[in-house]
Structures are given as structure tokens and as C-alpha cells.
Amino acid sequence: MQSYIIELSPPRINADNLGEQINTFTKRYSEIVDAGMIVSIPDNPMASSRMTALEMVFELGSSFNADKTIMHMTTYHYKQQIDSRLAVAYERGLRNLLVVTGDYNPYTHKLNPHEIESSSESVTSVDLIRYIRSLCSGIFNCGVAYNQYNDIQEEDEKLLRKFDAGASFVVTQPAVADDVESSAIQMINGDVFIGVWMSHDTNPLKKIIRQSILTKDEYDPDKNLRDLINRFPRSGFYLMFLDVNRPLPSLPTLA
């Protein structure tokens, strides 16, 4: 699957200019879809309280394109909330999910294993995919995360469990083109979208990858994206932290 996905965060629930932010979101969403790319809507990213993907689908109205939208599903919800989101997604024709454990939030309920009849000590993305498949077999196309900066053997074993549970595509952590650790991505079997950090602010990025990778030169997100496309010509790309006020980057057509 060779295409571009752009992550687009919903507005914060308590934003003073909520109406303006909703308008910014809907405008940006249309720009991405009109450019032939896919929009990925995260679920309370960085443990911040934001409007949900389905609330944004309602705000989008006729501009909503189910085939060009990915909704994140995390373990930080009650079972009935997860069930409701899946039901509404099904009704609206939304079939693409990115299933992740989610960012820790002390103010949000963490799904208990007994709620979904899991034997795990703590619900993971694997458990959540299994639950989604048991509830909606064959309906949703589930993607999962891959962290190429963890121990590769352990991460590959986790990825196999995710595929066994029903995952069909993979999104990696943000990659740096000249980083040797990114070579692990080439070994993944399946549809892969390589994470690309599109902000000049690398402080959050340094929490994910080795800081020494970024101290060589000033980080240029556009150059890194071009270099990643050249290095991984058969992959798709997942662009994150792209400023909504910045024009969409000029992207080459993927083979």
C-alpha cells in the first residue's frame, strides 16, 4: 500500500476558539483528501483531551470521505465507549482503524481485561484488535504501531502477535533517513507506512529516538521526507506534526 497519510489532530475540548479550530480542521481535512491523501485522526494524542474522530466526522458533514479516513482506537476508554465508536464508524462506512495502546492519561479510564474477557494483566493493542475482530469480524481494516528503536527481536515478536490478532498494516515510529536503526523497517512483511516527523521542533522527537541522531545537523523535515522516500521506495509514509497553517508539502507520486 503506497500512499501518504497525514495525521490531523482534532481541536482541544476546552479551546477558547473552538469554533475557529473546528473550521481549521475541516478545511485542512478537505485539502488533504482533495490532494488524494489519507487523513489519520488520533485519539487524545499526547494525553490531551480533544474532540473525538467521530465528532469531527459529524462536523465534516458531506466533506467526510470514509475511504480516506483512519480513526485511532486506544485502550483508554470504557468498553461501551469502544462499542459505540465501532457501531457509529460502521454506520458511516469508516473501515480503517489504527489500533494502539494509547498515551497514558491519569484522568481517562483504562480498559480492564475483564471488560473484553481478556486473560492479559493489562489490555494491549493486541487484545483490542482481538476484541474488535470478535465483535466485528471482517469489517475493519486494523493498523498497528511498530517501534524500530526498541529491541528489534522483541518488537518483531510483538508485531507477529499483532498480525496474528488481525492487523493488516503497520505505522512505524518517526524515522530519520540516515539512521541505521531504520533498516529494521525493511524487514517488515506487509503494508508499511513510515513515520515522518514534519515539525522543526524536535524536542518531542528526542523522547522517541536517540538524541545523537539529531545533533549532527539542524533537522530539516522536508529533506528527511525526501530522503526516506528515496531510501524506502516501496513504502507508504505517515506524516505527523505537520503545522495546519503550513501549506501541504509537494509530494512525489509513489510508484
> Is 249 inside a domain boundary?
no
Helices within the chain (DSSP H only): 18-34, 53-60, 79-91, 125-135, 152-165, 203-206, 221-231
> Is 247 inside a domain boundary?
no
Question: Percent of the chain beyond pLDDT 70?
Answer: 93
Q: Residue 219: pLDDT band by 50, 70, 90 thresholds?
A: confident
Angle between helices 152-165 and 125-135 (to 10 degrees): 10
Distance (Å) of CA 148 to CA 45, 102, 194, 227, 235? 20, 17, 10, 18, 15
Question: Percent of the chain beyond pLDDT 90?
Answer: 67
Per-residue pLDDT, 107: 76
> Is 170 inside a domain boundary?
yes
Per-residue pLDDT, 210: 65
Q: How far is CA 152 from the centre of its chain?
A: 21
Which CATH number characterizes residue 189's domain?
A: 3.20.20.220
What 8-state DSSP symbol labels residue 212? G
Average pLDDT score over residue span 190-202: 92
Average pLDDT score over residue span 74-88: 94
Q: Are strands 38-41 and 69-73 parallel, antiparallel or unpaired?
A: parallel
pLDDT digits (tens, 9 = 90+) for 136-146: 999 999 999 99
Q: How far apart are CA 167 and CA 126, in angstroms?
A: 9
Q: Residue 215: pLDDT band by 50, 70, 90 thresholds?
A: low
Residue 124: pLDDT over 70: yes
Number of domains in the chain: 1
> Is 251 inside a domain boundary?
no
Nearest residue to 38 (alpha-carbon basis) of 98, 90, 81, 85: 98
> Is 14 inside a domain boundary?
yes
pLDDT digits (tens, 9 = 90+) for 85-112: 999 999 999 999 999 998 777 778 889 9
> Is 65 inside a domain boundary?
yes
Residue 33, classed as helix, strand or coil, is helix
What 8-state DSSP symbol labels residue 150? S
Contacts of 69 (CB under 8 A, 6+ apart): 38, 39, 40, 41, 53, 57, 94, 96
Q: Residue 203: pLDDT band by 50, 70, 90 thresholds?
A: confident
Least confident of 2-6, 103-107, 162-166, 218-222: 103-107
Distance (Å) of CA 205 to CA 148, 200, 208, 210, 213? 14, 10, 5, 9, 11
Structural domain range at position 191:
4-240
Q: Residue 46: pLDDT band by 50, 70, 90 thresholds?
A: low
Per-residue pLDDT, 1: 54
pLDDT digits (tens, 9 = 90+) for 125-135: 999 999 999 99
> Is 37 inside a domain boundary?
yes
> Is 246 inside a domain boundary?
no
